[in-house]
């Protein structure tokens, strides 16, 4: 319901056919398919999200590099993408909406998860040049692996194979936490990342979504234009 509420602020939601995507959003005559998924928690223990201990004696006991802490969330996001990317019509815009809320813990970083699997970008790094100046750039990570398995390539939005996917709508927040003025986990809300290689681009700036844009020349994070105000009676 919250996704419908968010989308309806940008266009008109139309009924879908039995075999179609979850939502059809009409944006000024452009009909956009939207498929939503909340990937199940992994059955393998090592792929599950780390569950923080909030007791006063153990609050800071998680530790570790962000890659190790976020890997289960990244893998669940990849699973959601792979389950949906090839299922629907390729002759019109297609968005995949992924909610990994079951994997949220103390360490959730939505921008990290998105740039990791969609563009193969990791941690922000600082490099010193020969003239003594520094410049910022992201770690390049072309491959990831599940524990005990072979590597697989990431960076889906750098690969023309996925040009039929117009973009990804993503959140790691529980639906309760997205209710305005409600209680729940507080993180980045909902983020939209357009595919720069998309065959059918969705030319709209969703007003309640954060936006990540990444091309060969630039990476930028853009805050939502407006705080979300629901039209639902919750």
Chain segment 167-190, per-residue pLDDT in tens = 999 988 777 666 666 554 444 678
What is the model's pLDDT at position 185? 44
Structural domain boundaries enclosing 10: 2-16+23-114+143-222
Say what percent of the chain tops pLDDT 70: 74
Three-state SS at 47: helix
Select from 153, 148, 154 the least CA-distant residue to 47.
148
Cβ distance 82 to 74 under 8 Å? no
Q: Which pair of tokens denotes residue 121? A: 């970008």
pLDDT tens digits for range 122-158: 877 888 888 888 877 888 888 887 766 778 888 999 9
Q: Looking at the domain assignment, is residue 201 inside a domain?
A: yes
Q: Looking at the domain assignment, is residue 207 inside a domain?
A: yes
**Per-residue confidence band for 54, with pLDDT thresholds at 50, 70 and 90:** very low
Tell whether the model's pLDDT for residue 111 goes beyond 80. yes
Question: How many folded domains does the chain comprise?
Answer: 1
Distance (Å, whole) CA 74 – CA 50: 13
Distance (Å, whole) CA 28 – CA 30: 6
Select from 208, 203, 206, 201 the least CA-distant residue to 230.
208
Q: Looking at the domain assignment, is residue 228 inside a domain?
A: no
User: What mean pLDDT value characterizes the chain?
Assistant: 78
Select from 33, 53, 49, 31 the least CA-distant residue to 41.
49
Q: Which pair of tokens denotes residue 104? A: 């949220």
Q: Looking at the domain assignment, is residue 131 inside a domain?
A: no
Q: Looking at the domain assignment, is residue 232 inside a domain?
A: no
Q: Looking at the domain assignment, is residue 37 inside a domain?
A: yes
Q: Looking at the domain assignment, is residue 126 inside a domain?
A: no
Select from 37, 122, 34 the least CA-distant residue to 74.
122
Select from 113, 95, 101, 106 the least CA-distant residue to 178.
101
Q: Looking at the domain assignment, is residue 234 inside a domain?
A: no
What is the model's pLDDT at position 234? 47
């Amino acid at each position: 319901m919250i996704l419908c509420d968010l989308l309806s602020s940008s266009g008109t939601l139309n009924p879908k056919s039995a075999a179609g995507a979850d939502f059809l959003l009409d944006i000024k005559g452009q009909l956009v398919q939207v498929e939503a998924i909340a990937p199940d928690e992994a059955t393998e223990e090592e792929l599950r999200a780390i569950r923080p201990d909030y007791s006063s004696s153990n609050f800071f006991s998680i530790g570790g590099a962000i890659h190790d802490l976020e890997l289960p969330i990244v893998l669940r996001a990849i699973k959601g993408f792979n389950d949906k990317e090839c299922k629907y019509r390729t002759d019109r815009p297609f968005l995949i909406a992924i909610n990994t809320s079951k994997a949220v813990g103390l360490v959730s970083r939505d921008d990290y998860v998105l740039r990791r699997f969609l563009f193969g970008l990791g941690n922000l790094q600082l490099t010193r040049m020969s003239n003594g100046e520094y410049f910022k750039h992201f770690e390049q990570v072309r491959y990831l692996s599940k524990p005990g398995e072979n590597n697989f390539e990431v960076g889906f939005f750098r690969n023309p194979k996925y040009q039929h996917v117009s973009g990804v709508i993503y959140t790691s927040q529980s639906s309760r936490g997205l209710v305005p003025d409600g209680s729940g986990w507080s993180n980045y809300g909902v983020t939209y990342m357009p595919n720069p290689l998309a065959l059918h681009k969705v030319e709209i700036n969703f007003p309640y979504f954060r936006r990540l844009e990444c091309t060969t020349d630039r990476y930028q994070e853009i805050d939502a234009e407006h705080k979300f105000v629901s039209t639902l009676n919750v």
